[in-house]
Amino acid sequence: MARILPQTKSAAVNPLKTSQPLGAAFAFLGVDGAMPLFHGSQGCTSFALVLFVRHFKEAIPLQTTAMDELSTILGGADNLEEAILNLKTRTKPKLIGVCTTALVETRGEDSAGDIADIKLKRVEEIAGTEIVLANTPDFDGAIEEGWAKAVTAMIEGITRPGEQVRQSKKIAILPGWNLTVADIEHLREMVESFGLKPVILPDVSGSLDGTVPDRWVTTTYGGTSVEDIRELGTAEHCIAIGEHMRRPAEVLQKVTGVPYVLFQSLTGLKDADSFVSLLSAISGASVPAGVRRRRAQLQDALLDGHFHFGGKKIAIAAEPDQLYQLATFFTGMGSEIAAAVATTDMSKILEKVPAESVQIGDLGDLETLAASADLLVTHSHGRQAAQRLGIPLMRVGFPIFDRLGSQHKLTILYQGTRDLVFEVANIFQAYRQAPTPEELDPLRKRETPDGPRSSPLTRH
């Protein structure tokens, strides 16, 4: 069991975290016709928007209630109302996802009460648009928490409550934020190959997959339909992916009685096997030939790839579930987790991370802990640390702004695990240094014992 080390520094150095409201907006972006709205000052939205755009290379719908000094003193209810009405008129969204920020939460705004009032007062104006609220102050949590809160809010606010007639082939899937567009597409095909009908919430594969529509759309286009969210209660089963999706799955069960199964990760042969077995059990269908073929390909990839992983020291910094997903992948290939850094200490999954300890912290911590690692694994902001340490960087998670196509990278099930094996093995092969006589000299080695590399802090 990993020890969880709390953050003790006062100055965070090179943040690992991305803010909680951004995580909530991310989830709302997986719904068709959606418009996420930050309840805060214009900068909160502007920063998040720029970050989304840098990652996805897409126009991203995201608006602000534009709180200023006056509304901060008098209260933000009017700004919230005006923003909702303006969005309704200008963009006609099917869903407005309100995400609060640190500013309104510090002020102690009763945003839920305000939204209830607005819904009462403006029944006609906002008819046909769902408005849901995620309380997501920036001083708490990170992407995971924001994403999970938004999904929970959508189930609580939109899904029709009560036990309903179940459709035996319908499966509700609640994926964690760390599944890419390609992952969701692949997941859907896998589930469908068993004759099942998946309803995925949120479904970023429909909205953030980078297509060229034939008209200009100001909301999201594609993603889970509001109607499908409303009908989630008719699913036979629910499958949640990632520990942070436990709460939304529990809420769905409480509201509609749909039972859930939770997979903490779908990466690696074993987890893929359990997922496929579950689909086979639910559907009563045998595993299709194509899936068996992919399993065999993964077996072969493990055989070919393991030479590159054995004994390697890996330093990972990520949100808790992604940290677990990747750490178990690497240890499953024979590598060792030399450093594990997570964004927040709220997740139970951290204890299960196969590392001696998990530091709650930032990329400054990663840089200190990773000095003797062979590979850094984190988002694009890790590029400076990688450069200073002279260690290759594998980019995962969010944001990835200095590489194209991260949303189309597959990371789950047989095929995604196979791709990860190849990606890592290729990084190691690309970085392989030719041996030198000095390095191999047995006598020289004895004189200067292998100490840790010099502290990154002295390298500026």
Partner 1 sequence: MSSPSAKIQDVFNEPACDKNRGKDAKARKEGCSKPLTPGAAAGGCAFDGAKIVLQPITDVAHLVHAPLACEGNSWDNRGAASSRATLWRTSFTTDLTELDVVMGQGERKLFKAIREIKETYAPPAVFVYSTCVTALIGDDIEAVCKRAEEKFGLAVVPINAPGLVGSKNLGNKLAGEALLDHVIGTVDPDDAGPYDINILGEFNLSGEFWLVKPLLDRLGIRVRACIPGDARYLDVASAHRARAAMMVCSTALINLARKMEERWDIPFFEGSFYGITDTSEALRNIAELLVRKGADPEILDRTETLIVEEEAIAWNKLQVYRRRLQGKRVLLNTGGVKSWSVVHALMEIGMEIVGTSVKKSTVEDKERIKQILKDDNHMFEQMAARDLYAMLSEHKADIMLSGGRTQFIALKAKTPWLDINQERQHPYAGYDGMVELVRQIDLALHNPIWRQVREPAPWDCQPAVKDEPPSTTSETATVHTLKKFAGKTADDFGEC
Which residues are near partner 1 by CB under 8 A? 9-15, 17-22, 37, 40-48, 50-51, 53-54, 57-59, 63-69, 72, 79-80, 82-87, 90, 101-103, 106-107, 137-140, 142, 212-213, 215-216, 218, 362, 364, 381, 384, 401, 457, 460
Q: How far is CA 393 from CA 164, 228, 329, 379, 403, in A?
A: 49, 39, 17, 9, 12
CA distance 410 to 420: 8
| CB distance 326 to 316 below 8 Å | yes
Closest listed residue to residue 243, CA positions, set 176, 178, 143: 176
Task: Give burial (CB, 10 Å; 0-12/13-18/19+) of 357.
Answer: middle
CA distance 299 to 302: 5
| CB distance 409 to 419 below 8 Å | yes
- 247: tokens are 């709460």
Min separation Cβ 65 and partner 1, Å: 5
Closest listed residue to residue 369, CA positions, set 275, 267, 457: 457
Min separation Cβ 454 and partner 1, Å: 14
Min separation Cβ 140 and partner 1, Å: 5
| CB distance 338 to 315 below 8 Å | yes
Min separation Cβ 315 and partner 1, Å: 18
Min separation Cβ 422 and partner 1, Å: 28
CA distance 318 to 314: 13
In the complex with partner 1, the residue whose CB is nearer, 103 or 370, is: 103
Min separation Cβ 49 and partner 1, Å: 9
In the complex with partner 1, the residue whose CB is nearer, 46 or 167, is: 46
Tokens 């200095």 belong to 402
